[in-house]
Chain A
Amino acid sequence: MNMSSRKSAYTESIVQGILGLVTGFATTLKHLFRRPITEQYPEYRRPLPARSRARIILTRDPDGDERCVACYLCSAVCPVSCISMQSAEREDGRRYARWFRINFARCIYCGFCEEACPTLAIQLTPHFETCQRDILTLVAEKEDLLVDHGGKNNEYNFYSHAGVAMLGDKGSHIGEDAPVDPKSNLP
Chain B
Amino acid sequence: MVVWAVGILLLVIKLGIVMVTLLLGAAYLVLAERKLLGRLQIRYGPNRAGPFGLLQPIADTVKMMLKEDTVPQSADRVIFLIAPAVVATAALLIFAVVPFGNTLTISGVRIPLVISDLNIGLLYVFALSSIGVYGVALGGWASNSKYSLLGAIRGAAQMISYELSLGLSLVPVVMMSRSFSLVDIVNSQAACPFILLLPVSFMLFFVSSMAEIKRIPFDLPEAENELGAGYHTEYSGMRFGLFFLGEYVNMVVLGALITVFFLGGWRGPLLPPLVWFVIKVLCIVFLMIWTRGTLPRLRYDQLMQLGWKALVPISLVNIIITGSLILLRGS
Contact = CB atoms under 8 A, between A and B. Distances in A.
B39 A32 contact: yes
A29 interface: yes
A36 B42 contact: yes
B52 interface: no
A37 B290 contact: no
Contact of A36 (B43, B290, B293, B294): B43
A40 B46 CA distance: 11
Contacts of B43: 36-38
Interface residues of B, number: 14
A31 B39 contact: yes
Max chain A Cβ within 10 angstroms of own Cβ: one of B42, B290, B295: B42
A160 B290 CA distance: 68
A159 interface: no
B41 interface: yes
A28 B41 CA distance: 7
Interface in B287-308: 290-291, 293-295
Contacts of A28: 40, 290, 293-294
Contact of B42 (A25, A37, A40): A37
A31 B295 contact: no
A36 B40 contact: no
Contacts of B40: 28, 31-32
A24 interface: yes
Contacts of A38: 42-44
Interface in A27-55: 27-29, 31-32, 34-38, 40
Given A25-B290, A31-B40, A40-B44, 4 more contacts: A24-B294, A28-B294, A29-B290, A40-B47
Interface of A: 24-25, 27-29, 31-32, 34-38, 40
10 contacts: A25-B290, A25-B291, A27-B294, A31-B40, A31-B42, A32-B39, A36-B43, A38-B43, A38-B44, A40-B44
